Structure 1
Amino acid sequence: MARKKGENGEVGLKMRAETPFWEKPLSDLTRAEWEKLCDGCGRCCLVKLEDEDTGAIHHTSVACKLLDQESCRCGDYPHRRTFVPDCVRLTLKKLEKIRWLPPTCAYLLRFQGKPLPPWHPLISGDAESVHRAGVSVRGRVEASEGTVETDDLPDFIRLWPKRWPKKARW
């Protein structure tokens, strides 16, 4: 709220609309706000392969061993690095360099100056909206990383993790 002097000289209170945190610059977010930007799609928790010759990143339909495939969230987020040492803690600095985030990622969208899509739980108010829009990995994971041999991972390369689902476009 702010005090405002009216035409008749009276001082009154005016309600100021506060900018939602997800519309603020990423550099202004608190750690808690940063964490809330995640839409819970689970796409970043899919195993990715990098072509040594070209540097191209290929997404697979194989999930990290900690991914809860129903909620599409990490099964042990606070301790994930204990079990998955190469799990990336996404920060603004790292965001500038990472090339494997899906195009639907809220961090990437905000970094590019774009708004969150209507199906994002912060916009819809519903954690299931990301799943209904077909953005999450729910029902699309073909294996967990502990069940697939490293040499077999190329057999699971899929294009969909790098694309916008048709019903999620706006």
Structure 2
Amino acid sequence: MKLFKKWKARWEGYCKCCGKCCYEKEYLPGGILITDYSKPCRFLNEDTKKCNVYVNRFNACKECRKITLWTALFSPALPPDCGYVENVRNKIRPRFKQGHWLSF
């Protein structure tokens, strides 16, 4: 259990709290994903970039999705400057291209 808590704290620490994942997204024809920064989640405090219901966000907001390793690696919804992208996608993906296995 200690290891899980340590890993979870490290994982949560990747988030830069920018709030960019808390805006409406829409796919355009051709599979292009756009983020509408004029339409924030109703629970996002745009001044602090913090979620007002963070602890219960998955129950309070049906659009809120957990950022998993899979999401961090492959989701087009996360911007390039997202902490998860910088710490996971940009570090782990090159290993796959080189034929290496994941190591934590």
Identity of aligned residues (%): 27
What are the ranges of 5 or more consecutive residues in structure 2 without an aligned counterpart? 1-5, 93-104
TM-score calculated relative to the size of structure 1: 0.47
Partner of 1:87: 64
Q: What are structure 1's unaligned runs of at least 5 residues?
A: 1-28, 115-170
Match of 1:50 in 2: 27
Which structure is higher in helix share? Answer: 2
Higher relative contact order (Cα pairs below 8 Å, separated by 6+ residues): 1
Greater radius of gyration (CA)? 1
Q: Does the residue aligned with 1:57 lie in a helix, a strand or coil?
A: strand
Equivalent in the alignment of 1:113: 91
What TM-score do you get using the length of structure 2 for normalisation?
A: 0.74
RMSD, aligned α-carbons: 1.7
**1:38 and 2:19 are equivalent in the alignment:** no
Aligned residues: 85
Instruction: Give runs of aligned pairs for residues 58-137 of structure 1, distance below 5 A.
Output: 58-61=34-37, 62-111=39-88, 112-113=90-91
**Match of 1:57, as an amino acid?**
L
Maintained 8 Å contact 2:73/2:85: no
Distance in 2, matches of 1:74 and 1:88, equals 13
